[in-house]
C-alpha cells in the first residue's frame, strides 16, 4: 500500500516537472522575443526615428502583460505555507500512521 502511494507520488512529481519545464521554456521564448522588440525600439529611437501607432500600442500591451505576470507571480508566492513553504495548490501525499510496514 505505501509503495503504491510512493509510486503515485513519484508520478505526480514527474508530471509536475514536465509541466514546469514546458512553462519555463515558453516564458524564456516570450522573454527573448520581448528583449528583441525592446532592443529594436531603443535602436530606432536612438537613431532619431519615431514610433508608429501600432508600435506604441505594442509598448502599452507589453507593459500590461508585464504587470499581469507580476500579479500572477505574487499570487503564486502567496499560496505557499508560511512555515513549510509548501504549495496549497499542489497534491500532497500523506503517510497513513496506521501502516508502518511496506
Instruction: Express each pLDDT in 6-40 by its tens digit.
Output: 999 999 999 999 999 999 999 999 999 989 988 88
How many angstroms separate the CA atoms of 100 and 64, rounded? 53
- 2-46 helix and 53-78 helix, angle to the nearest 10 degrees: 150
Q: What is the pLDDT of residue 78?
A: 62
pTM comes to: 0.43
Q: Which residue has the higher pLDDT, 52 or 26?
A: 26
Q: What is the pLDDT of residue 97?
A: 52
How many angstroms separate the CA atoms of 30 and 61, rounded? 14
Amino acid at each position: 500500500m505505501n509503495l503504491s502511494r510512493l509510486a503515485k507520488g513519484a508520478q505526480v512529481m514527474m508530471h509536475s516537472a514536465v509541466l514546469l519545464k514546458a512553462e519555463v521554456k515558453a516564458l524564456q521564448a516570450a522573454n527573448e522575443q520581448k528583449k528583441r522588440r525592446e532592443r529594436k525600439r531603443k535602436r530606432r529611437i536612438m537613431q532619431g526615428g519615431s514610433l508608429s501607432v501600432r508600435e506604441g500600442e505594442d509598448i502599452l500591451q507589453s507593459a500590461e502583460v508585464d504587470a499581469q505576470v507580476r500579479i500572477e507571480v505574487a499570487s503564486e508566492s502567496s499560496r505557499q505555507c508560511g512555515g513549510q513553504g509548501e504549495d496549497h495548490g499542489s497534491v500532497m501525499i500523506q503517510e497513513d500512521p496506521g501502516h508502518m510496514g511496506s
